[in-house]
A and B are shown apart, each in its own frame.
Chain A
């Protein structure tokens, strides 16, 4: 029988490295942008423009136009390939008059703007604050529900607390991986955490816990059935029995997500990418983190019990 549980030290080390890299990216982001992950205007308030110019444009020229309209410190970024002439500009909250002035200024100083492809979004800091508060509530409610769900699922299992704790640690693992991924893409690509990022994270947390519970469920089922076997073996058996289902399900979701990332256009790419990373991490963590953790805990308890009696 292929032994997954035995090599657990390697999984812990591997995950540790990935998470540390993520934390390093967060620190880098903290130094450069002031927050561990870049926050979008959904939370901070401000304006975000995407211009498609009909001719070549330069960062400084765009910046000057914004400064002339009273929006200094605009963050100007090129999107896509250079020949696409697509630029994203982020500023503090722009008034409608300023938007008009900016458009006129860009047409005069930089290049004609393709109005059919223009997008801009303004969010007042008030709304940003409200969204942040709602996001906090959503995360709190989701965590509570997930805890309740875990508690309910394991209510009849001996040492239910261990399973619950392991499932939560696995979920936190996925969260850290996704955040680290975002910190990294924030530094490299300018991706920002928006409401959709939060959606991806919450959805993935749900799936991740779900996935963990499927394996734990099988352990519970197998424990009385293979009473003579050591705990490790029963756990390993349970993983192997459920791994087909886990992989097949995740694979299908992953196919769809990769298709959206490759062909679905740039707008929701960060959203789906977060989900993909979270999903991969979720599948990994339920098998290679959550279950080995339970084993470690069980073995430690056995050792303690042996020492107490011996």
Chain B
């Protein structure tokens, strides 16, 4: 046996071992999973990722509700996406997904949701911007609170707000944000909260001073020290309320809350009489500053959103589908394995080995890349497995022909692979082209199921080139080398 074949065989065996290791559902150690460098940190698990149709959940497509043809501002769209994401996060689900799709659409996927109707309403509702009296307690960004205005606006369960993180503001925690009147700068040193705050238990209801409805204008500029700040202007009535409130609460915190979630908590440096003020942002980046400005500006969603499609799948239904697909797959592949074994005998058995490697490789790739499996995706995989033996069949039929014309065993094997190659290549290319067309079609939302099918079929086709040609040929050469003489007298084993 030549060295190249030995090297290939070794490679295939090592690959098979690796694939088996990845495919097995044993808890893979963390350091192994951390090797998946191409995936974002925190998402490096060796596990199959199921699509919504297989694990149950809700998928909503939102679109900017503007007349067709009208341009949609990309910044406004991104802000809308962020607002929707905040609301979705408020629902407390695992792995929600909020993604921009195209220029005017947002796709929301909520796996394993209990009450899809409520979720849809939460997502669509108008955002509520509030200025909230936080007293001397600084609230960290992202905390969900209850306010005196209406019910829990963020929808879903309002988290208990006992900000466990430093209730007594420490130096590190002391906020960098300050609220000042824009008029003459005061010399007063920043007032650090001195009051002793005892941790409260249970939810505290914060008083709403103003809502976003009172904001007339919001800007973004830089202070003399080159820090970002947001100047704002209030409508006269709101300005009146604001003046009275700030005058009596200097040194306390006024939190800006969007959908009951704290965006930032500046301290009141002085009374703001004329309704014009500035929020100093300390060392915030431009991105952060702009986000806050945009959110303030568009207290409500910057673009009206319309629900374009909704689809829900009950969780049990998804499980059932997975179970059935696995059963169908095992039965279907077993028949293929049996057929190859019976029809092509020894080469068939070797092709079966290659097919098992093929299935294992696919599964491993789904886990590692990861590929999100949907029901049509599984169908695509199974179909590609059924078609995978096509390459072997082409080779074996050629081999038989060559043997019948009286060629030696060795020459028949080699020329079988050689002469079948163009047919194999052509058929793989045409399948890949079909996949490409389907994938393009599937990027359309209403047809997103198609994408999963095209993807798994394409992956399968590429892997097939390796397993059906390289792996099978290596197996056959090895067997021929080890038992060639013995085979010559038992040609029925070759299916001739």
A contact residues vs B (CB 8 Å cutoff): 42-43, 95-97, 99-100, 103, 114-124, 126-128, 130-131, 134-135, 137-138, 141-142, 145, 149, 153, 195-196, 198-199, 202-203, 205-207, 209-210, 213-214, 217, 241, 244-245, 248-249, 251-260, 262-265, 267-268, 271-272, 275
Task: List B contacts of A217 (CB < 8 A).
Answer: 423
Question: CA of A267 to CA of B329 in the docked complex: distance in angstroms?
Answer: 15
Closest Cβ–Cβ distance, residue B105 to chain A (whole Å): 9
B393 touches A122 (CB 8 A): no
Task: List A contacts of B36 (CB < 8 A).
Answer: none
Question: CA of A84 to CA of B40 in the docked complex: distance in angstroms?
Answer: 44
A127 touches B445 (CB 8 A): yes
Q: A213-B426, A253-B386 are in contact. Are A202 and B309 (CB under 8 A)?
A: no
B390 touches A255 (CB 8 A): no
B333 touches A248 (CB 8 A): no
Show 30 A/B contacts (Cβ-Cβ < 8 Å), sorted by A.
Answer: A96-B121, A96-B307, A99-B117, A118-B317, A119-B317, A120-B310, A120-B311, A121-B310, A123-B446, A127-B309, A130-B445, A131-B447, A134-B441, A138-B437, A141-B437, A195-B442, A196-B450, A199-B438, A199-B441, A199-B454, A202-B441, A207-B431, A213-B426, A214-B423, A217-B423, A256-B382, A260-B382, A267-B53, A267-B321, A267-B375
Task: List A contacts of B335 (CB < 8 A).
Answer: 255-256, 259
Question: Using a Cβ–Cβ cut-off of 8 Å, how many residues does chain B contribute to the interface with A?
Answer: 70
Question: CA of A11 to CA of B199 in the docked complex: distance in angstroms?
Answer: 87
Option from A138, A241, A245, A257 in Cβ contact (under 8 Å) with B393: A245
Closest Cβ–Cβ distance, residue B13 to chain A (whole Å): 26
A127 touches B61 (CB 8 A): yes
A119 touches B379 (CB 8 A): no
- For chain B residues 333-389, which have a beta carbon within 8 Å of chain A? 333, 335-336, 339-340, 343, 375-376, 379, 382-383, 385-387, 389
Residue among A203, A205, A251 having the largest count of chain B Cβ atoms under 10 Å: A203
Question: CA of A241 to CA of B397 in the docked complex: distance in angstroms?
Answer: 9
A264 touches B314 (CB 8 A): no
Q: A206-B433, A248-B343, A263-B327 are in contact. Are A122 and B333 (CB under 8 A)?
A: no
- For chain B residues 51-95, which have a beta carbon within 8 Å of chain A? 53, 56, 61, 63
A127 touches B446 (CB 8 A): yes
B contact residues vs A (CB 8 Å cutoff): 53, 56, 61, 63, 117, 120-121, 124, 306-317, 320-321, 324-325, 327-329, 331-333, 335-336, 339-340, 343, 375-376, 379, 382-383, 385-387, 389-390, 393-394, 397, 401, 423, 426-427, 430-431, 433-434, 437-438, 440-442, 444-447, 449-450, 453-454, 457
Task: List A contacts of B437 (CB < 8 A).
Answer: 138, 141-142, 145, 202
Known: A42-B447, A248-B339. 14 other contacts (CB 8 A): A99-B120, A116-B316, A138-B441, A196-B376, A199-B438, A206-B434, A207-B431, A251-B339, A256-B336, A257-B332, A260-B332, A265-B324, A267-B321, A268-B376
Q: A42-B446, A99-B117, A122-B309 are in contact. Are A268 and B375 (CB under 8 A)?
A: yes
- Residues of B contacting A: mostly: helix
Task: List B contacts of A117 (CB < 8 A).
Answer: 314, 316-317
Task: List A contacts of B311 (CB < 8 A).
Answer: 119-122
Task: List A contacts of B401 (CB < 8 A).
Answer: 241
Task: List B contacts of A251 (CB < 8 A).
Answer: 339
Task: List A contacts of B339 (CB < 8 A).
Answer: 248, 251-252, 255
Q: Taking CB as reference atom, which chain A residue is nearest B121?
A: A96
Q: Taking CB as reference atom, which chain A residue is nearest B454?
A: A199
Q: Taking CB as reference atom, which chain B residue is nearest A148?
A: B433
Q: Taking CB as reference atom, which chain A residue is nearest B321?
A: A265
Question: CA of A245 to CA of B445 in the docked complex: distance in angstroms?
Answer: 38
Q: Which 10 A-B pairs have the closest CB atoms?
A: A259-B332, A256-B386, A131-B446, A195-B447, A206-B434, A264-B328, A116-B316, A138-B441, A256-B332, A121-B311
Closest Cβ–Cβ distance, residue B408 to chain A (whole Å): 21
A119 touches B312 (CB 8 A): yes
Option from A119, A198, A258 in Cβ contact (under 8 Å) with B441: A198
Question: CA of A158 to CA of B257 in the docked complex: distance in angstroms?
Answer: 77
Question: CA of A210 to CA of B423 in the docked complex: distance in angstroms?
Answer: 9
Q: Taking CB as reference atom, which chain B residue is nearest A153?
A: B426
B310 touches A130 (CB 8 A): no
Q: Taking CB as reference atom, which chain A residue is nearest B389?
A: A252
Q: A138-B440, A210-B427 are in contact. Are A124 and B447 (CB under 8 A)?
A: no
Q: Taking CB as reference atom, which chain A residue is nearest B422?
A: A217
Residue among B53, B431, B437, B453 having the largest count of chain A Cβ atoms under 10 Å: B437
Question: CA of A258 to CA of B434 in the docked complex: distance in angstroms?
Answer: 22
B124 touches A96 (CB 8 A): yes
Residue among A99, A134, A213, A264 having the largest count of chain B Cβ atoms under 10 Å: A264
Question: CA of A42 to CA of B442 in the docked complex: distance in angstroms?
Answer: 12
Question: CA of A130 to CA of B376 in the docked complex: distance in angstroms?
Answer: 21
Closest Cβ–Cβ distance, residue B333 to chain A (whole Å): 7
B308 touches A123 (CB 8 A): yes
Question: CA of A203 to CA of B387 in the docked complex: distance in angstroms?
Answer: 12
Task: List B contacts of A214 (CB < 8 A).
Answer: 423, 427
Question: CA of A153 to CA of B53 in the docked complex: distance in angstroms?
Answer: 40
